Structure 1
Amino acid sequence: MDPERRQTLKGAAFSLAGLVTPPEQWWEGSLSATVTRPATTGRPVGAEDVAGVREMTQLLSQREQRRGGADGRAALVAYLRTDVAAYLEGRFSHADVRRDMFTAAGELAYLAGWTSFDASEHVLAQKWFDLALQISAEADDAPLAGHILRAKAHQTLDLGHPAQALQLAEASLAHRRYRQACHRERALLGVVHARALACAGRRQQALTALLSAEDDLRRAEPADGEPARVFFFSEASLAHETARTLQALGDLHGAERQFVRSVRTRRAQPFARTHSVTLGLLGAVQIQRGAVDAACATWTQALDAMEGVQSGRARDTVVQMRRALSPYRARGGAALALLDDRARAVISRVR
C-alpha cells in the first residue's frame, strides 16, 4: 500500500512495458489466493469500517473534481498507508465484509492513481493503478478492474501512446469487466474505448463505439445500484470524451459542438477542475479551425474556472494555449496581452 516510498521511483520514467495487461489466468489465480488465504490476527473489521472507507473515498473524489488532483493527495495517501492498510490486515467478521473492504480499498488506491495522473505524476499514477488492479482482483470485482484499466488507457492516450492505450481500453471491456458493470460505467468504458480507436486511426469502429456508449448512458439509472465511483460521469462527461474522439478523427466542428455541449450541461462549481480542462480544450479546437477571437474568449473563461484548482492537466491546457497563441502575439492588442499575462500567472501558480 505504499508505492510512493520506493526509492526506485526517483527519476523513473513512464513505462510502456508496464502497460501489458495480465492474462485472464492471473485474475483467477488472485481469486484462488483469496479463498485459501489463512485468517490473520489483526484488528476486527466489520461493515461499518467498510462504510467509513467508502465515505472517505467519496469525500476525496468530490474534492478532486472541484480542486484538482494535486490538492489533498497527501492526505489521501496517508489514509491509505495507515487506516486502510490496517483494515486489509484485519480479521473480518464475514467473507462478504472482506470482499467489500478490498473493493473499497481498491477504489481508494485507484483514486490515488487518478489524482497522481491529474497532478502529472505519471510514474506514481502507473504504480497506484497497478496496485489498485491487484486489490480489485483479490476482491473479485471485475467492474472495478475495468474502471481502473479504463483510467490507464486514458492516461496512456494523453501521453501519446495510442496502440498501448487501445489494448488497455479493449481489456477494460473484456469478459465480466463490461458484462457485470452498471450502464453508467459501461458508457464510461465505451467512450474511452472510442477515443482509443480514433487515435489508432480506426474511424468507423470509433463512431460505432460512441453510439454504443450513448446507448449505455441513456439506460443508466441510479436505482440500478451504481457504485459511487461513477458519480461524476454524466451527459457532460460523455460529451467531453466524444469531443476528444471527434477531434482525433479530424472533425473539428463536431468536436467543438460536443465541447460546447459539455460546458453547457455540466454543473461548473462542483466539477471546476474538469470544467476548466474542457474549456481549455474547446479553445484549442477553436483556434485550430482559425476562430482566434472565440478561442480567446473561451480561454478567458477557462482561466476564470481554474481559480483555486491545482491540476497538472489543467495547467497543460494553459501551456498549450500560450503555444497556440504564439503566432498571433505579433498582432499586439491589449486583450491578447492580458490573456497571455494571466496564462503565465496560472502556470506559475498551478502545481
Structure 2
Amino acid sequence: MPEMAAQLALAAELKIPPCHVQKWPWPDWLHIAYGVELERPWDMHWALMALMGSVDAAMDRRRFLTLSQESACALAGAWAIAPEQIVRGTFGKRVDPEVADWVETRIAELWHLDDLVGGECCLDLAVAELRLAVRLLSRGLYSGEVERRLYISAAELCRFAGWAAFDAGRHAAAERYWHAGLRAAATAAEPGVGAYILSQMAMQRTYAGDGHGSVRLLKTAREKVGPGYSRTVHAMLDAWQVRAHAVAGEAREAARVLLQADGHWGRRRPDEDPPWIYWMRRPSTTIEVGMAFSRLGQPETAEELISDGMAERTSDYERDRVLGWTAIALARLGQGELDGALTAGRQAAAAAASIDSSRVLDEMDAFTSRLPGKDREAFKAEIDAIVRPSPADAE
C-alpha cells in the first residue's frame, strides 16, 4: 500500500480529486481512473455506459485487484437488488431476432475455444464480440425481447471477457468487465448470469488469498438465484466455496459445504441447467476441491479426487488437464513422493505447450518453487524450454 503522499501524487497525475483518495481506501479509488462509478444508479443508461467503457479494459494489464473485499461485496449487494429498479427503452436501427441468435451462437463457441487454448488467446475475440453487442444496443431498434437477449449476451460477453482476463493474469481488467457485466445482467433481470459473474469474482479472490471475501460473494450469488434454481449451479457455487474456506483455514466449513455440494449434484436435473454450466462435474472430483484438500493438509485425498476427475476430462478440456496434473504434482509432493511429483509435473508441462494461460503458468511455478534445490533448478529449466521457449527455440 503506497503512503498517503504517494497516493495523492498518483491521484493528481490521474486528475482524480484528493477527496476521492480520502473517501476510498487503497486501492478502491483507482476504479475512478478508468470510469467505473460504483455508486451510479443501476439503470439502463449506466449499464450501457459501463458496457461502452469496458471494451477497452483489456489494455489494463495490472496483475492485482483494484477492488477491496468490502467494495467487491458492496457491488455484489447492489447488483442483487438492482433488477427491481430497471426501466427499459428502445432506439436506433432495426435489430432482428436472427442477429441475437448469431451473437448467442458466437458466445457458446468462445466457451469451448477457451477450454482448449486458454484465456489469453480468447480475450481479443471476446472483446470484438462485445464491441458488436454494445454497438447493437447503443444504435439499434429492437423489440423488448430482442433487447433483453442483447443485454444478456452483453452480460455473458463481459463475464467471459473477465474470465479470459483473469486466466491471462490481467486482474484489474477482469474486475472492469465483471462490473459492466453485472449491470447488463441487472438490466436484463437475468440472475443466473449475474451469479456466474459473482462466482468468478469469488474465484479470483480465492486465488488472491482472500477466502473470506470469496465466501461472501458466493453466498450473495446463491441467495440471489434462490433454492429453486438449477442444482448444478448450486453445486458449482458450493464447490468453489470449499476452496475458499480452505484458503481461509476453515476445514470444518469446507467439509460441510462439500457434502452440501455433492448433495445438490446428486439431485440435479440437467433439463433445468443453463447452457453455460455444461463443463461442471461432480463437485468432489473438481480441481478446485482437490486443491482445497491439498491446502488443508490432506494430499492423499486431494490426489485421489483429482485423479477421479481427470478420468472424466477429455482433450476438449486441455487447460483443466494441465491444472489437474499440476495439482496432482503438488499433492504428491505433499506426500513426499518426489519422483511421482516430477512425473506429473512433466505431464502438465507437455500439455501446457498448447495453452496460453497465465493462471496455468502461475500454478506450475508454485509447484516448481516447492521442489528441493537442485531438482528445482533442473525442473525449471526443463519446463521453461517447453512452456516458455526462447525466440530461437520457437523458430
Task: Please indicate the TM-score interval, normalised by the length of the shorter structure.
Answer: 0.7 to 0.9
Compared with structure 1, are the counterparts of its residues 184 and 7 closer, same or farther at alpha carbon in structure 2 (3 Å cutoff)? closer
Contact 1:286 1:294 in 2 (8 A): yes
Report the counterpart of residue 102 of structure 2 in structure 1. 52
- The count of aligned residue pairs is 336
Report the counterpart of residue 344 of structure 1 in structure 2. 384
> 2:162 aligned to 113, 119, 122, which one?
113
Contact 2:90 2:147 in 1 (8 A): no
Compared with structure 1, are the counterparts of its residues 131 and 290 closer, same or farther at alpha carbon in structure 2 (3 Å cutoff)? same
Report the counterpart of residue 366 of structure 2 in structure 1. 320
Compared with structure 1, are the counterparts of its residues 150 and 192 closer, same or farther at alpha carbon in structure 2 (3 Å cutoff)? same
> Mean alpha-carbon deviation: is it higher for 12-21 or for 287-296?
12-21
What TM-score does the superposition give when structure 1 sets the normalisation length? 0.87
Contact 1:142 1:180 in 2 (8 A): no
1:278 and 2:324 matched: yes
Q: Secondary structure at the match of 1:21?
A: helix
1:22 and 2:22 matched: no
Q: CA–CA distance in 1 between the matches of 2:104 and 2:212? A: 34
Deviations 1:11-42 (A, max 9, x none): 68412424233375654444423x3x3332x2
Report the counterpart of residue 91 of structure 1 in structure 2. 141
> Mean alpha-carbon deviation: is it higher for 301-310 or for 319-328?
319-328
Compared with structure 1, are the counterparts of its residues 44 and 154 closer, same or farther at alpha carbon in structure 2 (3 Å cutoff)? same
Report the counterpart of residue 375 of structure 2 in structure 1. 329
Contact 2:284 2:290 in 1 (8 A): no
Q: Secondary structure at the match of 1:71?
A: helix
Report the counterpart of residue 289 of structure 1 in structure 2. 335
Q: Secondary structure at the match of 2:202?
A: helix
Q: CA–CA distance in 1 between the matches of 2:76 and 2:305? A: 36
Q: What is the deviation of 1:198?
A: 2.5
1:67 and 2:117 matched: yes
Q: Secondary structure at the match of 1:196?
A: helix
Deviations 1:246-269 (A, max 9, x none): 2232222111111111212211x1
Report the counterpart of residue 191 of structure 2 in structure 1. 142
Q: CA RMSD in A?
A: 2.5
Compared with structure 1, are the counterparts of its residues 342 and 85 closer, same or farther at alpha carbon in structure 2 (3 Å cutoff)? same
> 1:190 aligned to 231, 238, 244, which one?
238
Contact 1:194 1:206 in 2 (8 A): yes
What TM-score does the superposition give when structure 2 sets the normalisation length? 0.78
Contact 1:129 1:148 in 2 (8 A): yes
Which consecutive unaligned segments of at least 5 residues does structure 2 have? 1-50, 391-395
Q: What is the deviation of 1:57?
A: 0.8
Contact 2:210 2:248 in 1 (8 A): no
* Amino acid paired to 1:102: Y
* Superposition pairs of residues 218-237 of structure 1, within 5 angstroms: 218-224=266-272, 226-235=273-282
Compared with structure 1, are the counterparts of its residues 291 and 10 closer, same or farther at alpha carbon in structure 2 (3 Å cutoff)? closer
Q: What is the deviation of 1:305?
A: 1.3
Report the counterpart of residue 170 of structure 1 in structure 2. 219
> 1:248 aligned to 288, 295, 303, which one?
295
Q: Secondary structure at the match of 1:265?
A: coil
Compared with structure 1, are the counterparts of its residues 237 and 49 closer, same or farther at alpha carbon in structure 2 (3 Å cutoff)? farther
Q: CA–CA distance in 2 between the matches of 1:132 and 1:7? A: 14
